[in-house]
Each structure stands twice: as structure tokens, then as C-alpha cells.
Amino acid sequence: MLQLPQHIAIIMDGNGRWATQKGLPRSEGHKAGANSIDRLMETALELSIPYISLYAFSTENWKRPISEIQSIFQLLNEFIDSQLNKIHSNGIKIQHSGRVQRIPFMSFKKIYKAVQLTKNNTKMTLNFCLNYGGKEEILNACNKVIKKKIKNNDKLDKGITQEELEKELYTYPLPPVDLLIRTAGEQRISNFLLWQIAYAEIYFTNTLWPDFHKQDLFQALEWYSNRVRKFGGLK
Ligand code: FPP
């Protein structure tokens, strides 16, 4: 019996390289990447994995050419339009993590609708990290806690607790990440879920995200099930 992670987070890297290798525009890579999300969702449901977080667009991705930014948000819109009914009937809850400001209005509306429609679903949470940055999230959470304390006339010199901060993370109430997967051979965190990955197992694969199939997830899960997790203690 495999020991399965509760929360899997994925840095879906390699869409651009996948397209370039095939002589296609980068937008085609992102399109193929969206299909990988669809496959992943189905496999995660079959395995009853309750939480999936996807790095769809980072606060740093605004540095890309406007045409590529538009193609990613367009794909997100299409993904929600074409998948929302299926997502909802499969009992999947959509969550958004990240700054709402700067997200194109049309995409924001679609995400908001998806979040509202699916808010009572309990089978799985699909957390789209969109306009997301880990440092920004932590800073935002600290500022929110401080503002609340000032509003409630609480003393600030006592500092803030982990629990108070965690409640203000974009990902709340998701549990910490157990398994972080990064595709396409890069071995870095890229400002993703910095707080939540404190004790995550990190799996790197050379497979490009559009080529990530069911068996690639199984390989990652098999690797994960052999990890001994000590959380700083002894075995
Ligand atoms: C990283 O690959 C991928 C992204 C920055 C965007 C991820 C977006 C998708 C998977 C499609 C969007 C669809 C939805 C439903 C949100 P890269 O472009 O950095 O690849 P490269 O390193 O090979 O250039």
C-alpha cells in the first residue's frame, strides 16, 4: 500500500521548451500544459488525493511578453469555461491563491464564479496559484494580522503567532504541502508556497509539463512513498 500525499503542489515547467522542440509557438506549449492539468485532475480524483496546488502564473511572470501573458490567461478562461461543469459534478472545489489585483477582469470573473459555484465541494481542492508569489503572500499575511490587531486594539509588542499568520495565507485552510513536484529539469523553488513547503518532499523530473502523464505522477508517488518523513525529529 503506497503512502499517498494529502497535498501535492506542482511547478508546471517546460511548456515553452516543449513547444520550441516541436517548432511551435510557446502558446501551443501552454495549451498542451492545460491538457496536462485536465489529466492530472482525473488521476488525482481516482487516487483520492484531496489537495492539489498548481503554479499557473507567478508575480514574476508579468515580465514575459504581453502576447504570452494574454495566451496564458486566455487558456485559463477556456479551461474554466470547458471544465467547470465537470469539475463541479466531480465534487472538486476551486480555490485561488494569489493577488487579485492585476488579474485581467474577465479571468477574475471566471475564477470568482468557479470558486463560488464549487465552494461546498469536498472531494478535492484544486488550488490555482495565479498572480502568486510566496514572499508577497507572507508579507501580505503579516500586514493583515497587524492591521487586524490595530483594529481590535490588541497589543502589537507581543508579536504574531504562526496560527495567526497561517490564517491569512492565500492558501488557507489548505494543509502544508507533502509533495512538491517540479517538471522540466530545473531544481529551484521559484518563490512557490515558501511557507507551506517547509517539510515537503521535493521531486524533480526532466519530463516537460505537457508530457506529464499518469505514469509520471505514479513515479513521483512511488518515490514519495519511499521517503522517511521525520519533520525534524528522529525516525
Ligand atoms: C512554465 O513553463 C509554465 C507557465 C509559466 C505557465 C503555466 C500555464 C499552464 C500550464 C497553462 C495555463 C492553463 C491554465 C488552466 C492555468 P515555461 O513557459 O516557463 O516553460 P519553459 O521554461 O520551457 O520556457
Whose CA is closest to 47, among 82, 5, 80, 110?
5
How many domains, in total, are found in the chain? 1
CA distances from 235 to 201, 202, 220, 224, 228 (A): 16, 19, 22, 16, 8
Active site annotation includes 211? no
Q: What is the CATH number of the domain that holds 200?
A: 3.40.1180.10
pTM of the model: 0.96
In the reported structure, the alpha carbon of residue 210 is separated from the centroid of ligand 1 by a whole-number distance in angstroms of: 9
Is 85 inside any structural domain? yes
Residues 6+ apart with CB under 8 A from 9: 52, 53, 54, 55, 177, 179, 180, 181, 192, 193, 196, 197, 200
**pLDDT at residue 235 greater than cutoff 80:** no
**pLDDT at residue 6 greater than cutoff 70:** yes
Is 166 inside any structural domain? no
75 lines ligand 1 (CB under 6 A): yes
In the reported structure, the alpha carbon of residue 69 is separated from the centroid of ligand 1 by a whole-number distance in angstroms of: 10
Average pLDDT, the chain: 97
Condensed to tens digits (0 to 9), the pLDDT of residues 168-195 reads: 999 999 999 999 999 999 999 999 999 9
Active site annotation includes 13? yes
pLDDT tier at 2 (50, 70, 90 boundaries)?
Answer: confident
Handedness of CA 86, 89, 92, 98 (dihedral sign): positive
**pLDDT at residue 151 greater than cutoff 90:** yes
Report, as an integer, the average pLDDT of 197-202. 98
Query: For residue 25, what are the domain limits?
Result: 7-133+175-225
Is 138 inside any structural domain? no
Is 181 inside any structural domain? yes
Among the residue ranges 1-5, 83-87, 105-109, 124-128, the one predicted with the least confidence is: 1-5
Is 209 inside any structural domain? yes
For position 1, what pLDDT does the model report? 65
Is 77 inside any structural domain? yes
Condensed to tens digits (0 to 9), the pLDDT of residues 104-119 reads: 999 999 999 999 999 9
Is 215 inside any structural domain? yes
Condensed to tens digits (0 to 9), the pLDDT of residues 30-59 reads: 999 999 999 999 999 999 999 999 999 999
Report the residue among 10, 11, 13, 52 best suited for mutation to probe ligand 1: largest number of ligand atoms under 8 A from its CB.
13
pLDDT tier at 199 (50, 70, 90 boundaries)?
Answer: very high
Condensed to tens digits (0 to 9), the pLDDT of residues 124-146 reads: 999 999 999 999 999 999 999 99
For position 17, what pLDDT does the model report? 98
Is 79 inside any structural domain? yes
